[in-house]
Amino acid sequence: MTPRPRLILFCGVFGVMAASFALGQESQDPASHHDHSSSQVSAPQPPAAPTPADAQTPADAQTPSEAAHVPPDPPQHPMGDMPYHEMSALMQMDDAARTAMVLFDQLEWRNTTEGNAVAWDAEAWYGGDVNKVWLRSEGERVGGTTQGARADLLWDHTFARWWSVQAGGRQDFGTGPGRTWAAIGVQGLAPYWFNTEATFYVGEQGRTAMRLKSEYELLFTQRLILQPEAEANLYGKADPARQLGSGLSDLEIGLRLRYEVRREFAPYVGVVWARSFGGTADRIRESGGNPSDVQFVAGLRAWF
In whole angstroms, give the CA distance from residue 110 to residue 121.
13
Q: Are 301 and 270 in contact (CB under 8 A)?
A: no
The identity of residue 63, as a single letter, is T
> What are the helix and strand counts (H, E) for the chain?
6, 13
At 32 the pLDDT is 42
Task: Give the single-character DSSP code of 204.
Answer: G
How many CA atoms lie within 13 Å of 42's alpha carbon, on the beta-carbon side?
7
pLDDT score for 8: 53
Helix (H) or strand (E) holding 257: strand 247-259
Q: Please, is 118 exposed, middle or buried when counting C-beta atoms within 10 Å of its C-beta (0-12, 13-18, 19+)?
A: middle
> Is 152:125 a contact under the CB 8 Å cutoff?
no
SS3 63: coil
CA angle at residue 209 from 205 to 214, to 5 degrees? 165
Tens of pLDDT, residues 245-300? 999 999 999 999 999 999 999 999 999 999 999 999 999 999 888 999 999 999 99
Query: What is the distance between the alpha carbons of residues 234 and 180, in angstroms, rounded to a whole number?
Result: 16
Q: Which of the pair, 3 or 131, is modelled with greater confidence? A: 131
Q: How confident is the model at residue 176 (pLDDT cuts 50, 70, 90)?
A: confident
pLDDT at 204: 92
Instruction: Please list the residues that pair with 181 across neighbouring strands.
Output: 170, 203
Report which residue type is found at 104.
Answer: F
The set of residues, in sequence order, having a beta carbon less than 8 Å from that of 97 and lying 6+ positions away, is 128
Residue 4 binned pLDDT confidence (cut-offs 50, 70, 90): low
**The pTM is what?**
0.70
Q: Give yes or no for a contact between 149 and 172, defined as CB atoms under 8 angstroms apart.
A: yes
CB 11 within 8 A of CB 4: no
Share of the chain above pLDDT 70, in %: 79
Is the pLDDT score of 28 beyond 90? no
pLDDT in tens, 197-234: 999 999 999 999 999 999 999 999 999 999 999 999 99
Q: What is the pLDDT of residue 113?
A: 83
**In terms of pLDDT, which residue wins out, 255 or 79?**
255
- Give the pLDDT confidence of 82-120 residue by residue, as tens digits: 887 787 777 776 667 789 999 999 999 999 888 899 999
